[in-house]
Structure 1
């Protein structure tokens, strides 16, 4: 053994930067600027498992798309590189000038659940505590603020009562408005393990029949907006069956009689619930009986409940049923919010929402005074600020003149997004802290772009959906001049004259202060208390293990569950059951807008793809923006399956590929949110969605926007693969995605074959270009080869007969491989290999053809496919599709 051999780099324990599940990750630097990624078997959340997105994190760490230096907008609208001192001085001077002229209320921060708790804390402290403006809000407003509002109204605090272990021990799990199989796959695997090992039942309530529904015991496709009516009826049923836990209610709950009377008005019987929800009366009765007769019930929900103009009431309706039966805060029982972002919970803790001040404290006079004294901040904000949609309205009408956006992409994600983009462009001072250039918000031309550290480079904490605080640790050096967000904010604070309050030596000191504030004058009167961490030094912080809050000084090991024995944070330490407004949709369809547009996520992408969009593996399953429509509506509106449709609302338009989906109800449509102006020609769904908001939470309705639909025709469809970015003519529809070895685009166009051929010859010349032209058949194919190696490929065919790119993409993936046969390449064949077909399992790169072949060879179940091909054995989010492939194979055999 050589003693001088370099030691292999050690793995760093950190936390995944995607959804609110908060999985533990082991990251090992590869010495080339990237890292290999594995699940942390010791983290209690995921126990070593990772979903497709987490598994592919190593593919998203490249620097080619990064912001690496401070940038200042110049007079021509471009950007010049400037020093950090110049940028920070200008940002501070710009804020000071606007505040002096228009007052603190003219300044605002728009933050993100992608920030670490320490970043969030210092941003909130600067704006609310020292500048004196309450206008700090976050993109988490768009995903879970209705839950926050409901829990505060009902529990007296923003507290998730349960733990993930409840999904392991529940006998009934009810998922409401959550495609958990795709959006929280690691938790869904735990639920499926419970079904298999303990016989738990799974019920899915969702207007759309999703992949989650394919692995459920009961699927209830209720009308949009009718969730509260269903749960009001459940409360009536539980009462009439004598199943209310009167002892628990008497000791711990207020408002039961008023809430029950209200529920009887909304849903007096199963027939009225059937009318409201569109569900068969017998199915409703069966669900009510199942819920009533199963003592250990977890009801979990996500964006389908929250993203509603009545989202707070929907959550309250669920909480009411759990309170009435005492099924809360006990193993296997309770209401559970499945949070969308990795640190949405951390942002709530520090006051990142406009209606919170800090440490779960609001704007009551005693809370303002307490935080003012702790921060020693005489200029502290004294009233609630503007929530996200309101904030951008204030930007549009000139009330807010300076805005700093951190780690988010509001020009894509906010409703009525075209108006948002226009508003941002009119600011007197517009700053963006960002780590990637592929962000539509940058198209609004901020005055300064500040290079922020990315995942893998920054150090801090995040809190997941079960209140578990985990460390996110750096394992890569900061590239270029990138800096952590907390450092950038702190330097601006110092330049504004607040040096003493922002003299932090590192994130460990910020976290310790945050913990101390949570415990300050608390004595058990507030839910959020991590006082046990107030004395952490750098070593203690570096070694911090995952822990669920509250973790007060007397209980450093944390707390699994709350409220099993009461102890709420409302008046007299009681919960307050809440009557509901009459359930209704915020907007109705009409002759001009006959469909309700539902929005959501696909399996392998995240938000606006500024991270996942750089992973070839994650781009393989669903490659282009689409709209899913019921087959009856495809016929009704003259659409073509696989063709294109233009969706339009009163706010904007999009053109999307049409997918026939019987799981989408007639009169509805579903479109994913991920594509932006950077990744598609015309697919920004935020441009269509309406800015109608819940009156309590301010969360916008993103699940039911009235839209029109019309067919769009193109003469040709095809794909292009290139080593470098390849811009298509403006008339073309396209979707860009990462492929191994370069960039790919799927496209449709009305340009002629001759025009396309001319474009390719001008782009690449004729010496290295091999063409195959069939004008009569309407096809054009070309390959650019240099020294026998493929540099680019362009395939075009008549609309409806789009060429498949899987084989050509596989050849393109190896930039060093020699192409043995140009004719075979242009025919779409790989003479030296097999066609894998479209990707089904992103974790292990298993294609459709391999799975079909395994079934044809005798495999009988998805589990056997896993043993042979590994497909479905990691996160399991592809298991519903594998089972569907098996069913289709069986149907073919029967035919």
Structure 2
């Protein structure tokens, strides 16, 4: 391998980790953490470490097409531009829309926003970032006058108290979790509080866990606000000089918490023990250096904006903002959600953090020389697809996202796209739930092929650089948008030749008639030569003057807010229950979120076999008492239903969730599963201010699904689509696919159907086993010692006994593998069990055996198995395995 490491950024969460990539002569990509990048200092999580495994041609969208017929780029661009132009001419600019993504680079985002709001003349451009952080945006704007994240990551390490609310940092932002964990090891007196209905892996480093009922965050922080005031812990100087509205905010809080001496009613609503609530209140009150980190658990709610402001109120009341180790901190979910906010990617914003005021509309129009400037906000995500359903929006262009999976009431979204006059999709993946509904497909470049910038959660802008040549005819998103714009007659505004030229205009607009009136200002980066842009090092905004030397920039320690009065607003907020309550028909609450090794709808992480091993199937987590009440069994299947849709998933029985509450991951799609899109269940209820949906509280019912058979089917053909069973999930394994199946049909019937499917395969060896008495059927087809396809069918197949099947395509089958297939039990080295450590590929049974063999503490277990020595995300689970096995030994 050549010693030619290219610095770029990770395409996953909002941490914005620096990555170094190297490409070997045969095209294999190797990645490592960039030790010089301030966000991660060389650390990567399991997903980042596996990035090289995802840079493959499999599944890529290679060529433009119209109605399923391959066309060239000129034909595709002409078709899109002429259709958009004719629809606008006939029905007006609001009849078209763009739905974009935090996966776009800032330069892509900028030209998309410019096209819609400045040239077509509509604000109907919204982003999937609406689903993850728009409540934080609205809360910031209400309190600060602008969408500003005041602090930086360094605050996490120097704080004396970290409050993590609605954030499973260990799984969703693992590198920040590892930074905090390391800081706590250095300073054991540092306190960490986790506020979450679930006991997540983030609790592994917590001193206190508050398992609040979903949706009660406003009441919790209003209680805290009232407590701080009663204890006279407000900051009179900060309040008087820099804020307004404290009296009104406290009045509202006291309306929720009328008597602090008796919090029994509050505890009942929160679902908390009084002692732990009082301990939390006292800890926050006595610790000046406090940072509150919040994410989707706060934002994804019909009261999400109020939740954000309830948190901000507590920091403003005490003056704990803008100084090292103190402040509120919103962590974004996507790699460039912040970049999208900077360029006005949301339907209710203009570029450069400008708003739909008469003055700022005129400023943007003048700067862009825009012929048809939008003058009011457009449709937010849920409303946008409602308008498609109603026929008001007749053409939609979806970029780098999968709304048929990720939006709430997803079946309605699917139906809306089916009846839309024109659906254009730009993507790098050929087969998604959304591309299946497109009239026009445009192949976009993937992560390793794109060049531009992204902004992370601490306002740090980093370069993303192309590592490999583009696949097929894929083109950059900014180029595709500009070419369509030119064909619509807008060449003057879109005559860009590189992302560097777009970045130059973006930087210039940020400083245009600014003079300190807006927080976002990177005008110091104007005039970068192409070579300077190529070499651009990470920097944090604001950057009004190039060369400003400050690694950690903060806002608001000494006021200077962006409201008309220049003061921060404490906003009065009141607790209110979620929009849709539980009832007799839907008595349970469904929460949703991410799992450790997957990202969004798995179009990238799903390509890495090692990332599929830890949790290979969609599931619901359910408390043991709830499982007993509804006759659910561990590893059984459950039918989950809401007022909007249904799902069929595995059951995970755990005391990590509250009684009568369920958790389900967001990642599975109609391409990777039969019925596991959580979006199909989720209510379309949204926050009235932010438009962010209520993903954390959906009333549902649940009942067992009594399957008659289960099967594993593995094949070297990666385009195989299974339809033989009612339940199926597929995952990438080695050089093929593994299907996990369950059916209402008998195992004999399923075996017959699968054997018929394999009848066309030319093999030189066949292994077969039939035991009709037990309902067990196994068949393997080989050629030249390598497995072509195999199935294992039975009445029940316990996952921990069959994880070895996923490794069968990786190498020629030896005697151990053949014996395992025929016996249905793992032999020899295949008996490692389900993968726990994705980085080092260490299995559950290997870890259990190591503990039983004497590795009775974490260091010993890591030393003898190497588990936990990669990204460290599996460490909480390693501790559980140690405890479980030591407990069993004690019995």
TM-score by length of 2: 0.97
Instruction: Choose 288-297 or 827-836, whichever is displaced more.
Output: 827-836
Q: Secondary structure at the match of 2:359?
A: helix
Q: 2:332 maps to what in 1?
A: 339
Root-mean-square deviation (CA), in Å?
1.6
Rounded to whole Å, the distance in 2 between the matches of 1:783 and 1:630 is 39
Distance 1:788 1:327 in 2: 66
The answer to whether the aligner puts 1:326 opposite 2:326 as a matched pair is no
Q: Give the length in aligned residue pairs.
A: 882
1:539 counterpart = 2:531: yes
Secondary structure of 2:434's counterpart equals helix
**1:557–1:233 CA distance, 2 compared to 1 (3 A):** same
1:65-118 deviation digits (Å, cap 9, x = unpaired): 001110110xxxxx1110100000010000110000000011110000000000
Aligned to 1:115: 104
Q: Residue 692 in 1 paired to residue 689 in 2?
A: no
Task: Please show how residues 157-196 of structure 1 align to structure 2 within 5 Å.
Answer: 157-196=146-185
Report Cα offsets for 1:788-837 as digits up to 9, x if no partner.
Answer: 322222111213656832333334321x4455774443224565635221
**SS across alignment from 2:609:** coil
Tell me the equivalent position of 2:8.
14
Q: Which runs of 5+ in 2 are unaligned?
A: none
In the TM superposition, what whole-angstrom CA distance separates every residue of 1:310-335 from its partner, at most 9, and x where no partner exists?
Answer: 00000100000001111111111110
Q: How does 1:217-228 map to 2 (within 5 A)?
A: 217-228=207-218
The answer on whether the counterparts of 1:808 and 1:829 sit within 8 Å (CA) in structure 2 is no
Distance apart, 1:234 and its partner CA = 0.6
1:406–1:433 CA contact under 8 A, matched in 2: yes
Give me the whole-angstrom Cα distance separating, in 2, the residues matched to 1:863 and 1:476: 39
Write the distance in 1 (CA, Å) between the matches of 2:328 and 2:419.
43
Q: In the aligned structure 1, how far is the partner of 2:786 from the partner of 2:244?
A: 74
C-alpha offsets along residues 403-450 of structure 1, whole Å, 9 cap, x if unaligned?
100000000000000000110111112100000023111222x11100
The separation in 1 between residues aligned to 2:51 and 2:798, in whole angstroms, is 35
In the alignment, which residue of structure 2 is the partner of 1:864? Answer: 860
For 1:378 and 1:761, locate their aligned partners in 2 and report how far apart those are by CA, in whole Å.
64
Q: Which residue does 1:241 correspond to in 2?
A: 231
Q: 2:47 aligns with which of 53, 64, 71?
A: 53
Shift of 1:557: 3.7
Match in the other structure for 1:660? 653
Corresponding residue for residue 205 of structure 2: 215
2:748/2:775 contact within 8 Å kept: no
Matches within 5 A, 1:544-693: 544-553=536-545, 556-557=548-549, 560-693=553-686
Residue in structure 2 matched with residue 273 of structure 1 by the alignment: 266
In 1, Cα distance between the equivalents of 2:826 and 2:802?
11
Q: Structure 2 residue aligned with 1:408, among 380, 394, 401?
A: 401
Note if 1:493 corresponds to 2:489.
no
In the alignment, structure 1 residue 827 sits paired with structure 2 residue 823: yes
The 8 Å contact of residues 158 and 360 in structure 1, kept in 2 or not, is answered as: yes
2:41 maps to 1:67: no
Partner of 1:148: 137
Separation in 2, partners of 1:595, 1:374: 52
In 2, the alpha carbon distance for the partners of 1:40 and 1:260 equals 46
Distance in 1, matches of 2:652 and 2:235, equals 47
Match of 1:751 among 730, 734, 745: 745
Separation of aligned partners in 2, 1:471 and 1:420: 34
Match of 1:724 in 2: 717
Equivalent residue for 1:350, pick from 339, 343, 348: 343
Are residues 1:799 and 2:796 paired?
A: yes
2:135 aligned with 1:139, yes or no? no
Tell me the distance in 1 between the aligned counterparts of 2:655 and 2:799.
Answer: 23
1:717–1:802 contact (8 Å) kept in structure 2 = no
Residue 162 of structure 1 contacts residue 560 of structure 1 at CA under 8 Å; is this kept in 2? yes
1:847 aligns with 2:843: yes
Separation in structure 2 between the aligned mates of residue 481 and residue 643 of structure 1, nearest angstrom:
45
The equivalent residue for 1:260 is 250
Contact 1:547/1:557, CA 8 A, preserved across alignment: no
Aligned equivalent of 1:3 = none
2:240 matched to 1:250? yes
Is the 2:594–2:665 contact (alpha carbons within 8 Å) kept by the matching residues of 1? yes
Q: Which moved more, 1:752-761 or 1:479-488?
A: 752-761
Distance 2:816 2:297 in 1: 51
524-533 vs 859-868, greater mean Cα deviation: 859-868
8 Å CA contact 1:72–1:87 kept in 2: the answer is yes
Once residues 32 and 410 of structure 1 are traced to their aligned partners in structure 2, the CA distance between those partners, rounded to angstroms, is 36
2:302 corresponding residue in structure 1: 309
**1:76 alignment counterpart:** none
The answer as to whether partners of 2:88 and 2:95 remain within 8 angstroms in 1 is yes
Structure 1 stretches lacking a partner, 5+ long: 1-6, 74-78
Cα distance between partner residues in 1 of 2:207 and 2:548:
40
Matching of residue 288 in structure 1 with residue 297 in structure 2: no
Contact 2:344 2:353 in 1 (8 A): yes
Normalized against structure 1, the TM-score is what? 0.97
Secondary structure at 1:571's aligned position in 2?
A: coil
